[in-house]
Amino acid sequence: MCDGFSGYSDNRLPEAYWGTCLVHINRQFKRLLDPKITRFQGQSIASDAVRILAKVFHVEKRLEYSSASEKAAQRRQHLKAMIDDFYQLIEEALTKSPLKPLRNAIKNALKLKKWVYQMFKHGELPLHNNHNEQLIRPTTLVRKNSLFAKSTAGAKANAIWYSIVQTAKLNHLDVFKYLETLLSAFTKRETPEIEAYLPWTREIQESCKA
């Protein structure tokens, strides 16, 4: 499951099957509806494309299935006609020599068409890559914030705090309560036992549970 990065290909990994992110495809058409953009011929095509894909996302949420094969069958029954309509719409629009912004959005969607249709064969494939992107977002933010550490000691301090916060989250703690407990304990004159404040200990679980 990816966003169409050219490094992922059937030639390089012939045994893999690829899905692609409908949200990325949709986003390129949605940008053309920004009120800051001067209206241009073909903008209604972008509007229709966004409307069709919005319906696809809506119907997908309402599907009922108990296995990947059932999900694929449900998609073929309820979603395929809409995806067919989407591609028919943009393929016809491309024959009318649209302006560059719309043409680029259409060409991107057509380039990924084969991968889009994989969802009707493989129910395991999600419609979008949002979940994975959310998982890596904290790493991206850390990378950007680390630019302002200014020193090795500052970078190390950042890493320690990020580790504490993420470990608290993984152990289902209220991060604010946990940090408050740590700061209260470790700013006293007597240094407490570190093991007693690990996020998975029973006492911490009880006092700082989210």
Q: pLDDT per residue over 14-56, tens digit each?
A: 777 889 999 999 999 999 998 777 666 668 999 999 999 999 9
Which candidate, 108, 87, 94, places its Cα nearest to that of 25?
Answer: 108
Q: pLDDT per residue over 116-157, tens digit each?
A: 999 999 999 999 988 777 777 777 777 777 788 888 898 888
The pLDDT, as a whole number, for residue 17 is 82
> What is the domain partition of the chain in residue ranges?
22-129, 149-208
Determine contact, residues 102/45, Cβ cutoff 8 Å. yes
- Indicate the SS3 state at residue 20: strand
- Indicate the SS3 state at residue 193: coil
